[in-house]
Amino acid sequence: MNSPELDSRSARRLTQDEQIAAESPLPPLDLPADAKPMPLEAHLARLRRRPVAVAGIVENGLIRPLDPSVKLPEHSRVIIVAPGTF
């Protein structure tokens, strides 16, 4: 079991996180009764830039690719694939 890490968030970030956590959940979407589910692939096909799958990890909300040579353009759509799942 991993030991907990020291919380290094600033007071401003901590306050913001507390406010976000205190917000009520969003209501369910108001969809018509005849709405049909759409596969994720169909949704992604409509986008101009396709997402890129990169092996990496997510730590404390920070996405870190495992390969340090990977450079992503700003506002990239990225799917992070956790090690051991591919």
The structure's pTM equals 0.34
Give the pair of three-digit tokens for residue 14. Answer: 């901590």
Rounded CA-CA distance 7/17 in Å is 12
pLDDT score of 72 more than 60: yes
Rounded CA-CA distance 57/68 in Å is 12
pLDDT score of 62 more than 80: no
Residue ranges covered by each domain of the chain = 39-86
Q: What is the pLDDT of residue 22?
A: 92
Rounded CA-CA distance 53/79 in Å is 5
Q: What is the pLDDT of residue 86?
A: 46
Q: What is the pLDDT of residue 53?
A: 81
